[in-house]
Structure 1
Protein backbone atom coordinates (compact mmCIF):
# COMPACT_ATOMS: atom_id res chain seq x y z
CA UNK A 1 0.00 0.00 0.00
CA UNK A 2 1.31 3.43 -0.98
CA UNK A 3 0.85 5.39 2.25
CA UNK A 4 2.20 8.56 0.64
CA UNK A 5 -0.53 8.43 -2.01
CA UNK A 6 -3.23 7.93 0.62
CA UNK A 7 -1.89 10.77 2.79
CA UNK A 8 -1.82 13.07 -0.25
CA UNK A 9 -5.40 12.07 -0.99
CA UNK A 10 -6.43 12.88 2.60
CA UNK A 11 -4.81 16.30 2.43
CA UNK A 12 -6.32 17.12 -0.95
CA UNK A 13 -9.80 15.98 0.08
CA UNK A 14 -9.72 17.98 3.31
CA UNK A 15 -8.60 21.09 1.45
CA UNK A 16 -11.23 20.80 -1.27
CA UNK A 17 -14.12 19.89 1.09
CA UNK A 18 -13.04 22.63 3.53
CA UNK A 19 -15.43 21.64 6.36
CA UNK A 20 -14.14 24.45 8.61
CA UNK A 21 -14.56 27.12 5.95
CA UNK A 22 -18.03 25.87 5.02
CA UNK A 23 -19.25 25.79 8.63
CA UNK A 24 -20.62 29.38 8.66
CA UNK A 25 -22.89 28.49 5.74
CA UNK A 26 -24.31 25.52 7.65
CA UNK A 27 -24.71 27.55 10.85
CA UNK A 28 -26.61 30.22 8.93
CA UNK A 29 -28.78 27.59 7.23
CA UNK A 30 -29.86 25.83 10.45
CA UNK A 31 -30.25 28.98 12.57
CA UNK A 32 -33.43 28.82 14.64
CA UNK A 33 -33.78 25.05 14.28
CA UNK A 34 -34.13 22.84 17.36
CA UNK A 35 -31.04 21.09 18.68
CA UNK A 36 -32.43 17.62 18.01
CA UNK A 37 -33.25 18.51 14.41
CA UNK A 38 -29.78 19.99 13.95
CA UNK A 39 -28.23 16.69 15.05
CA UNK A 40 -30.34 14.75 12.56
CA UNK A 41 -29.40 17.26 9.86
CA UNK A 42 -25.70 16.83 10.61
CA UNK A 43 -26.15 13.06 10.34
CA UNK A 44 -28.15 13.25 7.10
CA UNK A 45 -25.65 15.57 5.43
CA UNK A 46 -22.63 13.55 6.55
CA UNK A 47 -24.13 10.28 5.33
CA UNK A 48 -25.08 11.87 2.02
CA UNK A 49 -21.56 13.24 1.55
CA UNK A 50 -20.02 9.84 2.33
CA UNK A 51 -22.32 7.94 -0.03
CA UNK A 52 -21.97 10.45 -2.87
CA UNK A 53 -18.16 10.59 -2.70
CA UNK A 54 -17.85 6.81 -2.44
CA UNK A 55 -20.11 6.36 -5.46
CA UNK A 56 -18.00 8.74 -7.52
CA UNK A 57 -14.80 7.19 -6.18
CA UNK A 58 -15.72 3.64 -7.20
CA UNK A 59 -17.64 4.41 -10.38
CA UNK A 60 -15.23 7.05 -11.66
CA UNK A 61 -16.00 9.34 -14.54
CA UNK A 62 -18.16 6.63 -16.12
CA UNK A 63 -21.14 7.76 -14.04
CA UNK A 64 -20.97 11.28 -15.41
CA UNK A 65 -20.47 9.91 -18.91
CA UNK A 66 -23.53 7.68 -18.45
CA UNK A 67 -25.68 10.76 -17.92
CA UNK A 68 -23.86 12.63 -20.66
CA UNK A 69 -22.48 15.24 -18.25
CA UNK A 70 -18.88 16.35 -18.49
CA UNK A 71 -16.87 17.55 -15.49
CA UNK A 72 -16.52 21.06 -17.03
CA UNK A 73 -20.31 21.25 -17.36
CA UNK A 74 -20.65 20.16 -13.74
CA UNK A 75 -18.17 22.87 -12.73
CA UNK A 76 -20.17 25.55 -14.56
CA UNK A 77 -23.50 24.38 -13.08
CA UNK A 78 -22.01 24.16 -9.59
CA UNK A 79 -20.44 27.58 -10.02
CA UNK A 80 -23.79 29.12 -10.94
CA UNK A 81 -25.42 27.56 -7.86
CA UNK A 82 -22.66 28.83 -5.58
CA UNK A 83 -22.81 32.29 -7.15
CA UNK A 84 -26.57 32.57 -6.62
CA UNK A 85 -26.26 31.24 -3.06
CA UNK A 86 -23.44 33.65 -2.28
CA UNK A 87 -25.41 36.63 -3.60
CA UNK A 88 -28.39 35.60 -1.48
CA UNK A 89 -26.22 35.34 1.65
CA UNK A 90 -24.60 38.73 1.04
CA UNK A 91 -28.03 40.33 0.65
CA UNK A 92 -29.38 38.53 3.73
CA UNK A 93 -32.05 36.65 1.78
CA UNK A 94 -31.04 33.22 3.10
CA UNK A 95 -31.62 34.30 6.70
CA UNK A 96 -35.21 35.35 5.90
CA UNK A 97 -35.87 32.08 4.07
CA UNK A 98 -34.51 30.06 7.00
CA UNK A 99 -36.82 31.88 9.44
CA UNK A 100 -39.82 31.11 7.23
CA UNK A 101 -38.88 27.44 7.04
CA UNK A 102 -38.40 27.27 10.81
CA UNK A 103 -41.93 28.61 11.35
CA UNK A 104 -43.40 25.94 9.10
CA UNK A 105 -41.80 23.00 10.93
CA UNK A 106 -42.30 24.21 14.53
CA UNK A 107 -45.01 21.62 15.22
CA UNK A 108 -43.10 18.72 13.66
CA UNK A 109 -40.86 16.26 15.47
CA UNK A 110 -37.10 16.70 15.34
CA UNK A 111 -36.79 13.92 12.74
CA UNK A 112 -39.58 15.34 10.57
CA UNK A 113 -38.17 18.84 10.86
CA UNK A 114 -34.72 17.58 9.91
CA UNK A 115 -36.10 15.70 6.90
CA UNK A 116 -37.98 18.81 5.78
CA UNK A 117 -34.94 21.05 6.16
CA UNK A 118 -32.62 18.47 4.59
CA UNK A 119 -34.55 18.65 1.32
CA UNK A 120 -33.87 22.39 1.26
CA UNK A 121 -30.23 22.10 2.32
CA UNK A 122 -29.24 19.28 -0.01
CA UNK A 123 -28.65 21.93 -2.67
CA UNK A 124 -26.56 24.03 -2.26
CA UNK A 125 -25.08 22.90 1.10
CA UNK A 126 -24.68 19.22 0.22
CA UNK A 127 -24.13 19.89 -3.48
CA UNK A 128 -21.99 21.65 -4.60
CA UNK A 129 -20.56 23.00 -1.32
CA UNK A 130 -19.31 19.67 0.05
CA UNK A 131 -19.89 17.36 -2.92
CA UNK A 132 -18.89 19.62 -5.78
CA UNK A 133 -16.78 19.51 -8.92
CA UNK A 134 -13.60 19.85 -6.88
CA UNK A 135 -14.27 16.97 -4.51
CA UNK A 136 -15.71 14.79 -7.29
CA UNK A 137 -12.73 15.49 -9.54
CA UNK A 138 -10.35 14.78 -6.63
CA UNK A 139 -11.81 11.35 -5.81
CA UNK A 140 -11.96 10.37 -9.48
CA UNK A 141 -8.36 11.47 -10.06
CA UNK A 142 -6.95 9.62 -7.05
CA UNK A 143 -9.06 6.54 -7.76
CA UNK A 144 -7.29 6.31 -11.10
CA UNK A 145 -3.91 6.44 -9.34
CA UNK A 146 -4.67 3.51 -7.02
CA UNK A 147 -2.75 0.49 -8.27
CA UNK A 148 -4.51 -2.22 -6.23
CA UNK A 149 -7.72 -2.89 -4.26
CA UNK A 150 -5.92 -2.32 -0.94
CA UNK A 151 -5.11 1.26 -1.85
CA UNK A 152 -8.68 1.81 -2.99
CA UNK A 153 -9.95 0.51 0.35
CA UNK A 154 -7.51 2.79 2.15
CA UNK A 155 -8.79 5.79 0.19
CA UNK A 156 -12.37 4.75 0.92
CA UNK A 157 -11.47 4.78 4.62
CA UNK A 158 -10.09 8.31 4.15
CA UNK A 159 -13.43 9.41 2.66
CA UNK A 160 -15.34 7.92 5.60
CA UNK A 161 -12.93 9.53 8.07
CA UNK A 162 -13.34 12.91 6.40
CA UNK A 163 -17.12 12.59 6.57
CA UNK A 164 -16.88 11.64 10.26
CA UNK A 165 -14.82 14.78 10.88
CA UNK A 166 -17.42 16.82 9.01
CA UNK A 167 -20.17 15.26 11.15
CA UNK A 168 -18.33 16.22 14.36
CA UNK A 169 -17.86 19.80 13.16
CA UNK A 170 -21.51 20.08 12.17
CA UNK A 171 -22.55 18.78 15.60
CA UNK A 172 -20.44 21.51 17.19
CA UNK A 173 -22.04 24.19 15.02
CA UNK A 174 -24.50 25.24 17.75
CA UNK A 175 -21.68 25.94 20.21
CA UNK A 176 -19.77 27.82 17.54
CA UNK A 177 -22.93 29.77 16.74
CA UNK A 178 -23.38 30.72 20.41
CA UNK A 179 -19.74 31.75 20.58
CA UNK A 180 -20.09 34.04 17.58
CA UNK A 181 -23.48 35.41 18.55
CA UNK A 182 -26.20 36.73 16.18
CA UNK A 183 -24.10 39.62 14.95
CA UNK A 184 -21.02 37.44 14.47
CA UNK A 185 -23.07 34.90 12.54
CA UNK A 186 -24.52 37.62 10.34
CA UNK A 187 -21.08 39.01 9.58
CA UNK A 188 -19.60 35.54 8.99
CA UNK A 189 -22.52 34.56 6.74
CA UNK A 190 -22.19 37.69 4.59
CA UNK A 191 -18.42 37.32 4.33
CA UNK A 192 -18.80 33.64 3.45
CA UNK A 193 -21.45 34.62 0.91
CA UNK A 194 -18.93 36.90 -0.79
CA UNK A 195 -16.35 34.10 -0.79
CA UNK A 196 -18.92 31.63 -2.11
CA UNK A 197 -19.80 33.99 -4.95
CA UNK A 198 -16.10 34.30 -5.82
CA UNK A 199 -15.66 30.52 -5.67
CA UNK A 200 -18.70 30.14 -7.91
CA UNK A 201 -17.20 32.50 -10.48
CA UNK A 202 -13.90 30.58 -10.23
CA UNK A 203 -15.72 27.30 -10.89
CA UNK A 204 -17.46 28.76 -13.91
CA UNK A 205 -14.22 30.19 -15.32
CA UNK A 206 -12.47 26.84 -14.77
CA UNK A 207 -15.31 25.02 -16.54
CA UNK A 208 -15.32 27.52 -19.39
CA UNK A 209 -11.54 27.17 -19.62
CA UNK A 210 -11.92 23.41 -20.11
CA UNK A 211 -14.74 23.81 -22.61
CA UNK A 212 -12.92 26.41 -24.67
CA UNK A 213 -9.71 24.35 -24.71
CA UNK A 214 -7.49 26.87 -23.05
CA UNK A 215 -9.04 30.13 -24.22
CA UNK A 216 -9.46 30.84 -20.50
CA UNK A 217 -6.53 29.65 -18.39
CA UNK A 218 -7.70 28.88 -14.80
CA UNK A 219 -4.09 28.90 -13.56
CA UNK A 220 -3.71 32.52 -14.60
CA UNK A 221 -6.66 33.43 -12.39
CA UNK A 222 -5.07 32.25 -9.14
Structure 2
Protein backbone atom coordinates (compact mmCIF):
# COMPACT_ATOMS: atom_id res chain seq x y z
CA UNK A 1 0.00 0.00 0.00
CA UNK A 2 2.81 2.40 0.90
CA UNK A 3 4.57 1.60 -2.36
CA UNK A 4 1.41 2.28 -4.37
CA UNK A 5 0.80 5.56 -2.55
CA UNK A 6 4.36 6.80 -2.97
CA UNK A 7 4.37 5.79 -6.63
CA UNK A 8 1.04 7.54 -7.19
CA UNK A 9 2.22 10.74 -5.50
CA UNK A 10 5.43 10.76 -7.51
CA UNK A 11 3.50 10.18 -10.75
CA UNK A 12 0.96 12.89 -9.91
CA UNK A 13 3.62 15.46 -9.02
CA UNK A 14 5.73 14.78 -12.09
CA UNK A 15 2.78 14.77 -14.52
CA UNK A 16 1.19 17.91 -13.08
CA UNK A 17 4.52 19.73 -13.31
CA UNK A 18 5.24 18.58 -16.85
CA UNK A 19 1.72 19.19 -18.15
CA UNK A 20 1.71 22.65 -16.52
CA UNK A 21 -2.02 23.40 -16.99
CA UNK A 22 -1.62 26.91 -15.54
CA UNK A 23 0.96 27.65 -18.23
CA UNK A 24 -1.27 26.19 -20.92
CA UNK A 25 -4.25 28.30 -19.86
CA UNK A 26 -3.15 31.68 -21.35
CA UNK A 27 -2.30 30.04 -24.68
CA UNK A 28 -5.67 28.27 -24.66
CA UNK A 29 -7.40 31.59 -23.98
CA UNK A 30 -5.77 33.39 -26.86
CA UNK A 31 -6.35 30.56 -29.34
CA UNK A 32 -10.05 30.32 -28.45
CA UNK A 33 -10.75 34.05 -27.97
CA UNK A 34 -13.15 34.18 -30.93
CA UNK A 35 -15.11 31.09 -29.91
CA UNK A 36 -18.29 30.97 -27.87
CA UNK A 37 -18.07 29.58 -24.30
CA UNK A 38 -19.71 26.36 -25.53
CA UNK A 39 -17.21 25.92 -28.38
CA UNK A 40 -14.33 26.80 -26.04
CA UNK A 41 -15.46 24.12 -23.59
CA UNK A 42 -15.83 21.64 -26.46
CA UNK A 43 -12.27 22.46 -27.60
CA UNK A 44 -10.89 21.89 -24.10
CA UNK A 45 -12.80 18.61 -23.73
CA UNK A 46 -11.60 17.26 -27.07
CA UNK A 47 -8.00 18.27 -26.32
CA UNK A 48 -8.09 16.54 -22.93
CA UNK A 49 -9.62 13.33 -24.34
CA UNK A 50 -6.96 13.27 -27.07
CA UNK A 51 -4.22 13.88 -24.50
CA UNK A 52 -5.51 11.08 -22.24
CA UNK A 53 -5.55 8.58 -25.11
CA UNK A 54 -2.11 9.73 -26.30
CA UNK A 55 -0.42 9.54 -22.89
CA UNK A 56 -1.91 6.17 -21.96
CA UNK A 57 -1.13 4.70 -25.40
CA UNK A 58 2.48 5.92 -25.31
CA UNK A 59 2.91 4.84 -21.69
CA UNK A 60 2.09 1.26 -22.66
CA UNK A 61 3.61 1.09 -26.13
CA UNK A 62 5.75 4.20 -26.58
CA UNK A 63 9.09 2.50 -26.08
CA UNK A 64 8.20 -0.27 -28.55
CA UNK A 65 6.87 2.21 -31.13
CA UNK A 66 9.92 4.47 -30.87
CA UNK A 67 12.25 1.51 -31.29
CA UNK A 68 10.17 0.04 -34.16
CA UNK A 69 10.16 3.28 -36.18
CA UNK A 70 13.65 4.27 -35.08
CA UNK A 71 12.37 7.49 -33.51
CA UNK A 72 14.11 9.11 -30.58
CA UNK A 73 12.46 11.32 -27.98
CA UNK A 74 15.01 13.98 -28.96
CA UNK A 75 13.55 14.14 -32.48
CA UNK A 76 10.10 14.44 -30.90
CA UNK A 77 11.32 17.44 -28.90
CA UNK A 78 12.72 19.08 -32.06
CA UNK A 79 9.40 18.69 -33.91
CA UNK A 80 7.52 20.00 -30.87
CA UNK A 81 9.86 22.99 -30.76
CA UNK A 82 9.21 23.81 -34.43
CA UNK A 83 5.43 23.61 -33.92
CA UNK A 84 5.67 25.81 -30.82
CA UNK A 85 7.87 28.36 -32.62
CA UNK A 86 5.49 28.74 -35.57
CA UNK A 87 2.52 29.03 -33.25
CA UNK A 88 4.33 31.58 -31.06
CA UNK A 89 5.20 33.63 -34.14
CA UNK A 90 1.54 33.81 -35.13
CA UNK A 91 0.60 34.78 -31.58
CA UNK A 92 3.28 37.46 -31.44
CA UNK A 93 1.89 39.03 -34.61
CA UNK A 94 -1.67 38.69 -33.28
CA UNK A 95 -2.70 36.54 -36.24
CA UNK A 96 -4.72 34.12 -34.15
CA UNK A 97 -6.96 36.81 -32.70
CA UNK A 98 -7.24 38.83 -35.88
CA UNK A 99 -8.47 35.81 -37.83
CA UNK A 100 -12.25 35.84 -37.79
CA UNK A 101 -13.78 32.40 -37.92
CA UNK A 102 -16.85 31.83 -40.06
CA UNK A 103 -19.65 29.92 -38.38
CA UNK A 104 -19.34 27.06 -40.87
CA UNK A 105 -15.60 26.83 -40.19
CA UNK A 106 -15.85 26.71 -36.38
CA UNK A 107 -16.17 22.90 -36.22
CA UNK A 108 -13.08 22.46 -38.40
CA UNK A 109 -11.15 25.05 -36.35
CA UNK A 110 -12.07 23.35 -33.06
CA UNK A 111 -10.99 19.97 -34.42
CA UNK A 112 -7.70 21.38 -35.69
CA UNK A 113 -6.50 23.24 -32.59
CA UNK A 114 -7.88 20.74 -30.06
CA UNK A 115 -5.66 18.00 -31.48
CA UNK A 116 -2.65 20.07 -32.58
CA UNK A 117 -1.19 22.04 -30.94
CA UNK A 118 -3.32 21.91 -27.76
CA UNK A 119 -3.45 18.14 -27.12
CA UNK A 120 -0.16 17.39 -28.90
CA UNK A 121 2.43 18.69 -28.12
CA UNK A 122 1.22 21.37 -25.67
CA UNK A 123 -0.52 19.08 -23.15
CA UNK A 124 0.81 15.65 -24.13
CA UNK A 125 4.29 16.84 -25.02
CA UNK A 126 7.67 15.12 -25.17
CA UNK A 127 8.26 15.56 -21.44
CA UNK A 128 4.97 14.04 -20.30
CA UNK A 129 5.17 11.24 -22.89
CA UNK A 130 8.70 10.38 -21.79
CA UNK A 131 7.57 10.50 -18.16
CA UNK A 132 4.73 8.08 -18.91
CA UNK A 133 7.04 5.64 -20.70
CA UNK A 134 9.60 5.69 -17.87
CA UNK A 135 7.02 5.34 -15.09
CA UNK A 136 5.33 2.46 -16.92
CA UNK A 137 8.67 0.69 -17.09
CA UNK A 138 9.07 1.25 -13.33
CA UNK A 139 5.55 -0.03 -12.58
CA UNK A 140 6.45 -3.68 -12.03
CA UNK A 141 2.99 -4.78 -10.88
CA UNK A 142 -0.57 -4.54 -12.22
CA UNK A 143 -1.55 -2.36 -9.25
CA UNK A 144 1.14 0.20 -10.07
CA UNK A 145 0.21 0.22 -13.75
CA UNK A 146 -3.45 0.84 -12.87
CA UNK A 147 -2.34 3.57 -10.46
CA UNK A 148 -0.37 5.26 -13.23
CA UNK A 149 -3.38 5.22 -15.59
CA UNK A 150 -5.62 6.68 -12.84
CA UNK A 151 -3.07 9.42 -12.11
CA UNK A 152 -2.87 10.37 -15.81
CA UNK A 153 -6.67 10.65 -16.01
CA UNK A 154 -6.93 12.63 -12.75
CA UNK A 155 -4.22 15.13 -13.75
CA UNK A 156 -5.79 15.67 -17.16
CA UNK A 157 -9.25 16.11 -15.62
CA UNK A 158 -7.75 18.80 -13.38
CA UNK A 159 -6.26 20.36 -16.51
CA UNK A 160 -9.71 20.40 -18.10
CA UNK A 161 -11.19 22.14 -15.05
CA UNK A 162 -8.47 24.81 -15.22
CA UNK A 163 -9.01 25.37 -18.95
CA UNK A 164 -12.79 25.41 -18.53
CA UNK A 165 -12.64 27.99 -15.72
CA UNK A 166 -10.32 30.15 -17.81
CA UNK A 167 -13.24 31.07 -20.06
CA UNK A 168 -14.32 33.57 -17.40
CA UNK A 169 -11.11 35.48 -17.99
CA UNK A 170 -12.01 36.16 -21.62
CA UNK A 171 -14.90 38.45 -20.69
CA UNK A 172 -12.80 40.13 -18.00
CA UNK A 173 -9.84 40.87 -20.28
CA UNK A 174 -11.81 42.06 -23.29
CA UNK A 175 -10.48 42.26 -26.86
CA UNK A 176 -7.55 44.57 -26.03
CA UNK A 177 -6.54 42.47 -23.04
CA UNK A 178 -6.63 39.31 -25.14
CA UNK A 179 -4.39 40.91 -27.78
CA UNK A 180 -1.85 42.02 -25.18
CA UNK A 181 -1.93 38.62 -23.47
CA UNK A 182 -1.53 36.82 -26.78
CA UNK A 183 1.53 38.86 -27.78
CA UNK A 184 3.17 38.27 -24.40
CA UNK A 185 2.39 34.56 -24.48
CA UNK A 186 3.59 34.37 -28.09
CA UNK A 187 7.00 35.56 -26.93
CA UNK A 188 7.02 33.04 -24.08
CA UNK A 189 5.92 30.21 -26.37
CA UNK A 190 8.76 31.05 -28.78
CA UNK A 191 11.23 30.92 -25.87
CA UNK A 192 9.81 27.53 -24.86
CA UNK A 193 10.18 26.43 -28.49
CA UNK A 194 13.87 27.34 -28.48
CA UNK A 195 14.35 25.37 -25.24
CA UNK A 196 12.60 22.39 -26.86
CA UNK A 197 14.81 22.65 -29.94
CA UNK A 198 18.05 22.86 -27.98
CA UNK A 199 17.05 20.08 -25.56
CA UNK A 200 16.39 17.87 -28.57
CA UNK A 201 19.29 18.94 -30.78
CA UNK A 202 22.03 18.92 -28.11
CA UNK A 203 22.02 15.14 -27.44
CA UNK A 204 21.60 14.45 -31.16
CA UNK A 205 24.65 16.58 -32.00
CA UNK A 206 26.65 14.92 -29.21
CA UNK A 207 25.75 11.52 -30.62
CA UNK A 208 26.78 12.57 -34.12
CA UNK A 209 30.10 13.89 -32.84
CA UNK A 210 30.42 10.88 -30.56
CA UNK A 211 31.04 13.13 -27.56
CA UNK A 212 29.71 11.66 -24.36
Query: Are residue 151 (structure 1) and residue 148 (structure 2) matched?
Result: no
Partner Cα separation in structure 2 for residue 11 and residue 188 of structure 1: 28
Shift of 1:63: 1.7
Partner Cα separation in structure 1 for residue 76 and residue 119 of structure 2: 15
Partner Cα separation in structure 2 for residue 92 and residue 32 of structure 1: 13
TM-score for both structures, normalised by structure 1: 0.85
Q: Deviations over 1:169-215 (max 9, x none)?
A: 22222212222332322222222111111111111111111212379
Structure 1 stretch displaced more, 40-49 or 173-182:
173-182
The residue aligned with 1:9 is 11
Runs of 4+ in 1 over 6 A off after TM superposition: none
Aligned pairs, number: 207
Partner Cα separation in structure 2 for residue 158 and residue 114 of structure 1: 31
Q: 1:71, 1:137 within 8 Å by CA — same for their partners in 2? A: yes
Residue aligned with 1:213, SS: helix
Shift of 1:158: 0.6
The residue aligned with 1:173 is 166
Shift of 1:5: 2.3
Partner Cα separation in structure 1 for residue 50 and residue 84 of structure 2: 19
Structure 1 stretch displaced more, 176-185 or 81-90:
176-185
Question: Which ranges of structure 1 fall in alignment gaps of 5 or more residues?
Answer: 217-222
Shift of 1:126: 1.8
Q: Deviations over 1:125-145 (max 9, x none)?
A: 221111111111111111121
With over 3 angstroms needed to count, the CA separation of the structure-2 counterparts of 1:141 and 1:43, relative to structure 1, is same
Q: 1:24, 1:185 within 8 Å by CA — same for their partners in 2? A: no
Question: Which ranges of structure 2 fall in alignment gaps of 5 or more residues?
Answer: none
Q: 1:39, 1:171 within 8 Å by CA — same for their partners in 2? A: yes
1:190-205 maps to which residues of 2 (within 5 A)? 190-205=183-198
1:119 paired residue among 112, 115, 126: 112
Shift of 1:67: 2.8
Shift of 1:78: 0.6
CA RMSD of the aligned region, Å? 2.0
The residue aligned with 1:32 is 34
Shift of 1:25: 1.0
Query: Are residue 212 (structure 1) and residue 170 (structure 2) matched?
Result: no
